[in-house]
Chains A and B, each alone.
Chain A
Amino acid sequence: MTEQQNPSIAKHRPVEGRRAFLRWSGVAAAAAVAFGVNVPGLKLGEAFAQSRAVDLGGGDLGVLNYAYALEQLEAAFYTQVIASPYAGMNAYERTLLNDIRAHEVSHREFFKKALGANRIPDLEVNFSAVNFGDRMSVLKTAMTFEDLGVSAYNGGGAAIQSPRYLAAAGSIVSVEARHAATIRDMLRPFTEYFAGDDVVSRGGVDVSNPPSAVLRAAGPFIVTPVTATQLP
């Protein structure tokens, strides 16, 4: 496949490949603790327990768990953004970011409920590469997550078998795209950037990524190794 990769993901990836690989490999959780990386709520014992990879599974449950993993990541990120606002966050930005936080939490809970006992465990996140006090660091990470989320739903939609789940994903992906445009507008107000040529091709279509590429890009932010061996 010649899927269009998202250049902004590579550009803003906060850690270099080697470190990402370590984290991915399963040693990461322990290493993060050993090297003093700030992982909220993560204790050494848990770190070892979680060093085993979580596989998303196959079929519709696999796709839903895939979405659930991404929504967990986004919800955790914006919860932190609101809990420790960056310097100079004005009321306009706070309102929008708090809305986004509420949306992501709602999406996470939606998938949690839909999956029930079939859901993957809570993922441990690692935002040590993000400077939550710095507006640019926060907004660029937010942009990465939103564009990534859009590309994931676009790339994963065709794998869904149930019309009901496809409809649900459809009602969420457009909200993720609205987030992406909004964050991008905060970075470069009233320019072409909200739907920039870095994400929308000349044919007028948005980025689409397969699970493998999405998980690779999200990897540095997730301590728990996540695999998608049964997804296309």
Chain B
Amino acid sequence: MNNDMLLSTLDPDLAGALASRRDLFRSTAMKLGAVASAPVVLAAVSTQAFGQGMPAQVAEVLNFALTLEYLEDEFYRQGLRAGVVPDRFSVVFRQISEHEAAHVTLLSSTLGAGAVAKPQFDFTAGGKYANVFRDFKTFATLAQTFEDTGVAAYAGQAPALMGSNAALTTALRIHSVEARHAAEVRLVRGVKPWKGAYDKAMTKQQVMAAVTPFIDA
């Protein structure tokens, strides 16, 4: 199954957004000649957009994003499975969990064979948060940290995606979903849903320093 088909199965909108193929289609069609059939053109475009043609810098950013999404996805999965979320907030965290799972699917299928492997996570951070899946306050505090960090991470990486409009737009559309999560988790915790009029961006190094304690290998 190529990436086009995968993306269409995931979300019809994304086939359009991520692919953003209008121009690509046009230029490829011209190269192949007007007689080329649509499937031939699409197959060529697919390789061009997602295969060996993906710029190394774009792949690197998307893999960095995928690592963060793996972390969030696994965190909410384990939390919901452990029953740490009170009934009152279960709908909120199920919705967030579904989005993180969708982000993992989206990014890993976009990267295809170039996707990084899922790391092993330790959400106790070596015992520092030993009760993370038993105590909701600890769980929600870490959730807020992960969401706010995710927002800052996507903001920090956006300029590195400027060469690829499709990848940039997709990253921006994930970015604002993470911000919605961050606000809601903060409301659940009873704190203000923002830090001010502007969110700060974090560099890759800053983000990795923040999440490394939760990554085993």
Q: Which A positions have Cβ atoms within 8 angstroms of B?
A: 1-4, 96, 99, 102-103, 106-107, 150, 153-155, 157-158, 163, 166-167, 170-182, 185, 190-192, 194-195, 200-208
Contact = CB atoms under 8 A, between A and B. Distances in A.
B26 interface: no
Closest A-B pairs by Cβ, 3 of them: A204-B102, A203-B11, A2-B16
A171 B179 CA distance: 11
Contacts of A157: 158, 168-169, 172
A182 B94 CA distance: 18
A201 B16 contact: no
B106 A203 contact: yes
14 contacts: A1-B16, A2-B16, A4-B17, A154-B169, A170-B201, A172-B197, A174-B175, A177-B180, A179-B183, A181-B193, A182-B193, A202-B102, A204-B102, A205-B14
B201 A192 contact: no
Contact of A2 (B15, B98, B182, B196): B15
Contacts of A205: 11, 13-14, 17, 106, 170, 173-174, 177
Nearest to A182: B193
Contacts of A203: 10-11, 13-14, 102, 105-106
Contacts of B176: 150, 153-154, 173-174, 176-177, 206
Interface in B71-98: 88-89, 91-92, 94-96, 98
B187 A182 contact: yes
Contacts of B102: 202-204
- B contact residues, range: 35 or more
Contact of A170 (B96, B173, B175): B175
Interface in B177-217: 177-184, 187-188, 192-194, 196-201
Given A173-B176, A195-B95, A4 B193 contact: no
Nearest to A196: B95
Which secondary structure dominates chain A's binding surface? helix
A96 B193 contact: yes
A175 B179 contact: yes
Contacts of B183: 177-179, 181-182, 185, 194
Interface of B: 10-17, 20, 22, 88-89, 91-92, 94-96, 98-103, 105-106, 151, 154-155, 158-159, 162, 165, 168-170, 172-184, 187-188, 192-194, 196-201
A170 B158 contact: yes
Contacts of B169: 154-155, 157-158, 208
A172 B198 contact: yes
Contacts of B178: 174
A190 B91 contact: yes
A153 B165 CA distance: 14
Contacts of A172: 197-199
A154 B18 CA distance: 13
Contact of A204 (B91, B100, B188): B100
A110 to B, nearest CB: 8
A114 to B, nearest CB: 13
Given A171-B200, A174-B155, 14 more contacts: A4-B13, A96-B192, A103-B196, A170-B199, A171-B198, A172-B197, A172-B198, A178-B180, A181-B183, A181-B184, A182-B193, A192-B94, A195-B99, A204-B102
Nearest to B102: A204
Contact of B172 (A154, A190, A192, A204): A154
Contacts of B162: 163, 166
Nearest to A1: B16
B92 to A, nearest CB: 6
A190 B89 contact: yes
A107 to B, nearest CB: 7
B99 A154 contact: no
